[in-house]
């Protein structure tokens, strides 16, 4: 018995040796995560809306910066879907040259920086994935160890963070649109514009659980004869052939199925000189409001035909599109329905996509701007219940706003400071800290 404390102390000393720590640290982190998830299975957490009577909403503007020009953008009159039809039929096959593949090996949660680097490199940008990550997931408060990547705790990079990076740190423009389909992707690619999409997929995760995850995917070609898109899958993490990830083929059905879970969002990065040509190709998609309405119509159609997790995604997409259209009360009701379906997914084959709120924050917008502050708080608590560490700065941010609206100023201060601690570049949280009066 006397030897036990000595052995523990000796093990602790040995663990501090750098080469020992570098080999064991990730195993200890994984063990801790496994234990946390074993005690609190993330897919068992459910969100039950309170649906309280909306309260008066304070004016808080949370709008990401963008350098997408508006001067020459299509007006709201450019909504004729026939504009999508080109005078010249598209080729049956188009694969873009000059694509530089970027993987996310030896990095945590790096599909955002890796894919954005590919999209920018295509046009001649000289930076790399780490240049992007240093801005969008700085992680300056992560453990200060040589073998621990800063920013590893940041689970996801939002599209708005990509927009901010392109706007502030490059000379390029970026278009973000919803409600995409196969034809607009082919149209863009055939005319020389690769497309970055956000989509979901299922696989056995690092905890050996079959799970749903989100992923950015750089799409650089298509082949109608084979019925496939050509993608650059940055997720080359294991001892598998590079050829399985570089110029990877995804059939159209699989591609669409995964794309559905992000409301068919797509992004195009381009040099300013290409603006006029790009907007001609985009047609009605050049008008963001048209794309939101189009995405809403797609969601409403899919609600009539889908079931199970796909029906959940369709209702979630409806809420997302309504938020983008600023119909917040209706959006909140759509998210209520989505999470009712989510809660009912209890059969053995169901895979609850609990990570979706790591990647998409639209329910917060709907509930907050509807004055449903308790639902904002409860939704954040639900989201934190699906993660092993409370490292989602966006959830802290929205919960902080809701606490402040309800008069809980100390809790609001803690949440907003936590958001900035996790990401010191989180401008919206910094703005609110400077705006709110926590002392009254």
pLDDT tens for 274-297 read 999 999 999 999 999 999 999 999
- CATH number of the domain at 131, please: 3.90.70.10
Whole-model pTM: value is 0.85
For the beta carbon of residue 61, count every other beta carbon within 10 angstroms. Answer: 6
| Averaged pLDDT, 323-336 | 97
Looking at the fold, whether 324 and 253 belong to one and the same domain comes out as no
Radius of gyration of the chain from Cα atoms? 23
Give 39's pLDDT tier (boundaries 50, 70, 90): low
SS3 358: helix
**359 domain-assigned:** yes
**191 domain-assigned:** yes
Looking at the fold, whether 106 and 252 belong to one and the same domain comes out as yes
Q: What is the DSSP string of 205-228?
A: -TTS-EEEEEEEEEEEEEETTTTE
Q: Say how many domains are in the chain.
A: 2
**312 domain-assigned:** yes
Boundary (domain end) residue, out of 217, 252, 286? 286
**355 domain-assigned:** yes
Which of 59-68, 91-100, 246-255, 400-409 shows the lowest mean pLDDT across its residues? 59-68
Report whether pLDDT(418) > 60: yes
Structural tokens at position 431:
């703005």
Looking at the fold, whether 154 and 261 belong to one and the same domain comes out as yes
Boundary (domain end) residue, out of 224, 251, 286? 286
Looking at the fold, whether 313 and 414 belong to one and the same domain comes out as yes
Looking at the fold, whether 226 and 106 belong to one and the same domain comes out as yes
Structural tokens at position 144:
């200060």
- With 0-12 / 13-18 / 19 or more C-beta atoms within 10 angstroms meaning exposed / middle / buried, residue 423 is buried
Tell me the percentage of the chain whose pLDDT exceeds 70. Answer: 78
Q: Are 357 and 373 in contact (CB under 8 A)?
A: no
Looking at the fold, whether 235 and 347 belong to one and the same domain comes out as no
Residue 370 domain boundaries? 35-63+308-435
- CATH number of the domain at 327, please: 1.25.40.10
**390 domain-assigned:** yes
Boundary (domain end) residue, out of 286, 318, 337? 286
Tell me, what's the pLDDT at 85?
46
Looking at the fold, whether 265 and 339 belong to one and the same domain comes out as no
Looking at the fold, whether 97 and 245 belong to one and the same domain comes out as yes
Looking at the fold, whether 59 and 91 belong to one and the same domain comes out as no
Looking at the fold, whether 235 and 117 belong to one and the same domain comes out as yes
Report whether pLDDT(241) > 80: no
């Amino acid at each position: 018995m006397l030897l036990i404390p000595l052995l523990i102390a000796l093990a602790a000393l040995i663990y501090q040796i750098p080469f020992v720590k570098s080999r064991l640290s990730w195993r200890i982190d994984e063990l801790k995560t496994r234990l946390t998830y074993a005690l609190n299975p993330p897919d068992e957490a459910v969100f039950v809306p309170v649906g309280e009577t909306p309260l008066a909403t304070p004016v808080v503007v949370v709008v990401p910066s963008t350098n997408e020009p508006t001067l020459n953008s299509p007006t709201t009159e450019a909504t004729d879907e026939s504009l999508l039809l080109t005078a010249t039929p598209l080729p049956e096959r188009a694969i873009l040259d000059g694509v530089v593949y970027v993987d996310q090996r030896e990095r945590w949660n790096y599909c955002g920086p890796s894919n954005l680097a590919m999209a920018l490199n295509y046009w001649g940008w000289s930076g790399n994935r780490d240049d992007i990550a240093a801005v969008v997931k700085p992680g300056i408060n992560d453990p200060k160890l040589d073998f621990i990547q800063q920013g590893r705790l940041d689970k996801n990079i939002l599209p708005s963070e990509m927009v901010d990076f392109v706007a502030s740190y490059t000379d390029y423009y970026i278009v973000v649109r919803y409600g995409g389909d196969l034809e607009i992707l082919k149209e863009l690619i055939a005319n020389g514009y690769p497309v970055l999409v956000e989509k979901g997929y299922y696989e056995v995760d690092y905890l050996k659980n079959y799970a749903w995850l989100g992923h950015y995917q750089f799409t650089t070609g298509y082949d109608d004869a084979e019925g496939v898109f050509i993608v650059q899958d940055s997720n080359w993490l294991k001892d598998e052939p590079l050829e399985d990830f570089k110029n990877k083929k995804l059939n159209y059905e699989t591609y669409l199925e995964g794309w559905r879970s992000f409301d068919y969002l797509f992004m195009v990065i381009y040099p300013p000189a290409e603006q006029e040509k790009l907007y001609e190709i985009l047609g009605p998609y050049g008008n963001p409001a048209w794309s939101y309405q189009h995405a809403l119509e797609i969601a409403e159609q899919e609600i009539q035909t889908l079931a199970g997790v796909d029906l959940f995604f369709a209702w979630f997409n409806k809420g997302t599109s309504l938020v983008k259209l600023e119909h917040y009360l209706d959006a909140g009701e759509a998210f209520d329905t989505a999470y009712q379906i989510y809660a009912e997914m209890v059969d053995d084959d169901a895979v609850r996509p609990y990570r979706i709120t790591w990647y998409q924050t639209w329910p917060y917008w709907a509930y907050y701007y509807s004055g449903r502050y308790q639902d904002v708080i409860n939704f954040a608590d639900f989201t934190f219940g699906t993660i092993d560490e409370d490292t989602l700065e966006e959830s802290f941010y929205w919960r902080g706003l809701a606490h402040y609206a309800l008069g809980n100023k100390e809790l609001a201060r803690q949440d907003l400071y936590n958001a900035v601690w996790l990401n010191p570049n989180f401008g919206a949280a910094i703005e609110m800290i400077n705006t709110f009066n926590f002392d009254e």
